[in-house]
Amino acid sequence: MQKTITGFSKLTKSEKIDWIVNTYFSNNKSAKTTLEQYWNSNKKLQQLHDEFIENTITNYYLPFGVAPNFLINGKTYTIPMAIEESSVVAAASKAAKFWLDRGGFKAEVISTTKIGQVHFTYDGNTEDLINFFKNTKSKFFKDTKSITKSMENRGGGILDIDLKDKTKDLADYYQLHATFETMDAMGANFINSCLEQFATTLKTEADHSLSGNVDVIMSILSNYVPNCLVRAEVSCKVEDLTENSKTSAEAFAEKFIQAVKIAEIEPYRAVTHNKGIMNGIDAVVLATGNDFRAVEAGVHAYASRNGTYSSLTHAEVKDGIFKFWMEIPLALGTVGGLTSLHPLVKLALEMLGKPSAKELMQIVAVAGLAQNFAALRSLTTTGIQEGHMKMHLMNILNQFEATSQEKEQLVSHFKTHTVTHSSVVDAINNLRNN
């Protein structure tokens, strides 16, 4: 059957689904039912979801869980997390409880500056362009006044604009490199609107003042935000570190720090190490309606800022005190976008006490640090699979459509047996055969 179509976006939702089902699922009688069963029975709410993106045919659900007992800067939080991976919420909760009686987490926002750029080429004399920019800089601010007025009233706006000469890297290439403060908004639309006005002003003024030709390539914010930084840390006396009598606190601390140092110098380990951090960060970013793809891109670029991909977290023992910390770039918002539209996002932010963007940065960073602590603690003691596979047990049981009674018996069985996919399959088969 022909798999291309003209005018798909103009079809009704039902017509879109019929085309999808007839084209791709002609032998799957339940395909249409599967798509429709994820619709929300509340028509108004479903319409809201339909209008978030284009060509919506159904909803894709992720579990929305919570990790309680997070003590951050003396205040207790229950952190919402939207994620599908087994053991993430459990690990975060376990780390939160561990540090609850050891002073909790400390977090601080170091800076909140964001970046946007107008990328352009100029084929004339560089000195002429530099002088032109000096004479025109004030007009860039003036021409964006209508855009920046509301943001300035909230304490934000355009902080500065610089001219960057990049011709050593690419012929005739220059940038207008602008810094912004967007307060409680993530600020993408605000920044991009300012940049597009910069581009218009640049082109208009250059045509009147420069002999060379200015050609604007594009105007866009950057998701690399090395100056939008938050720090999170935990610390305690070394002797307070362990709950396991089999391992001394000193031995645990030494092994833990060594594991972090390996991630600092070995990219193959660092990628997985940092992925674990992002398990916690992405889950909270998604639950609070923020852009986890932008956060991921910016964080991984930051992890490579010194020329080699490296660990985001660090650890040390000094004067008998164990310290574990992380500085990470996070551009987040608590107003605008989905934060004011998605009902669960509203609840998530309310659960967190309606935080400012800075407070949310701290909460998200702590979630990432907690996740990494829990992972390293498991890796350097029992191993990662013991806890992870026990959490994954229910997924395997659901794959085999285990009944409630079977689940109860098998969960009890695996309290004292190692969980692997094959061992679960064998146990299900033995149970059913008997």
Task: Say which CATH number the domain at 95 has.
Answer: 3.90.770.10
Residue type, 251: A
Q: Does residue 124 share a domain with residue 194? A: yes
Average pLDDT of the residues in 301-321: 98
Residues 6+ apart with CB under 8 A from 363: 70, 72, 77, 79, 107, 284, 352, 355
- Mean of all residue pLDDT scores within the chain: 94
Q: pLDDT tens digits for 325-358?
A: 999 999 999 998 888 899 999 999 999 999 999 9
Is residue 81 domain-resident?
Answer: yes
Higher pLDDT, residue 3 or 366: 366
Buried b (16+ CB within 10 A) or exposed e, 27-54: eeeebbeebeeebeeeeeebeebbeeee
Q: Does residue 365 share a domain with residue 250? A: yes
pLDDT at residue 388 in the model: 55
Query: Can 123 be counted among the known catalytic residues?
Result: no
Residue from 50, 85, 108, 316 carrying the catalytic annotation: 85
pLDDT band at 399 (very low <50, low <70, confident <90, very high): confident
Is residue 57 domain-resident?
Answer: no
Tokens of 380: 């350097």
Q: Pick from 181, 199, 221: which residue ends a domain?
A: 221
Question: Could you tell me where the DSSP H helices lie in 224-291?
Answer: 249-265, 267-287
- Contact in structure between 325 and 313 (CB atoms under 8 Å): yes
Percentage with pLDDT > 70 across the chain: 97
pLDDT above 70: residue 90: yes
Average pLDDT of the residues in 6-21: 95
pLDDT at residue 322 in the model: 98
pLDDT at residue 360 in the model: 98
pLDDT at residue 129 in the model: 98
Average pLDDT of the residues in 248-258: 95
Residue from 137, 255, 275, 346 carrying the catalytic annotation: 275
Strand order in the sheet with 157-165: 157-165, 173-181, 114-122, 214-221
pLDDT at residue 381 in the model: 87
Q: Does residue 343 share a domain with residue 402? A: no
Is residue 55 domain-resident?
Answer: no
pLDDT above 60: residue 425: yes
Q: Does residue 240 share a domain with residue 118? A: no
How far is 383 from 342, CA to CA, in rounded Å? 38
Average pLDDT of the residues in 277-281: 98
Q: pLDDT tens digits for 177-192?
A: 999 999 999 999 999 9
Query: Can 406 be counted among the known catalytic residues?
Result: no
Q: Pick from 183, 198, 221: which residue ends a domain?
A: 221
Q: Does residue 330 share a domain with residue 254? A: yes
Q: pLDDT tens digits for 187-233?
A: 999 999 999 999 999 999 999 999 999 999 999 999 999 999 999 99
What's the number of domains the chain is made of? Answer: 4
Is residue 196 domain-resident?
Answer: yes
pLDDT at residue 391 in the model: 63
Query: Can 240 be counted among the known catalytic residues?
Result: no
Tokens of 127: 């000195």
Return the closest-CA partner of residue 368 out of 37, 1, 35, 79.
79
Q: Does residue 394 share a domain with residue 374? A: no
Higher pLDDT, residue 161 or 243: 161
Q: Does residue 425 share a domain with residue 288? A: no
- Contact in structure between 375 and 91 (CB atoms under 8 Å): yes
Return the closest-CA partner of residue 105 out of 230, 206, 208.
230
pLDDT band at 247 (very low <50, low <70, confident <90, very high): confident
Is residue 335 domain-resident?
Answer: yes
Return the closest-CA partner of residue 289 out of 247, 326, 322, 335.
335
- CA angle 11-14-18, nearest 5°? 90
Is residue 248 domain-resident?
Answer: yes
Residue from 291, 342, 359, 392 carrying the catalytic annotation: 291
Q: Does residue 287 share a domain with residue 340? A: yes
Q: pLDDT tens digits for 126-176?
A: 999 999 999 999 999 999 999 999 999 999 999 999 999 999 999 999 999
Q: Does residue 344 share a domain with residue 253? A: yes
Task: Quote the pTM value.
Answer: 0.89
pLDDT at residue 242 in the model: 81
Identify the domain containing residue 425 by its residue range. 388-433
Q: Does residue 417 share a domain with residue 340? A: no
Q: pLDDT tens digits for 349-389?
A: 999 999 999 999 999 999 999 999 999 999 998 765 555 56
pLDDT above 80: residue 303: yes
Q: Pick from 221, 247, 282: which residue ends a domain?
A: 221
pLDDT at residue 138 in the model: 98
Query: Can 215 be counted among the known catalytic residues?
Result: no
Q: Does residue 295 share a domain with residue 146? A: no
pLDDT above 70: residue 244: no
pLDDT at residue 390 in the model: 60
Q: Does residue 144 share a domain with residue 119? A: yes
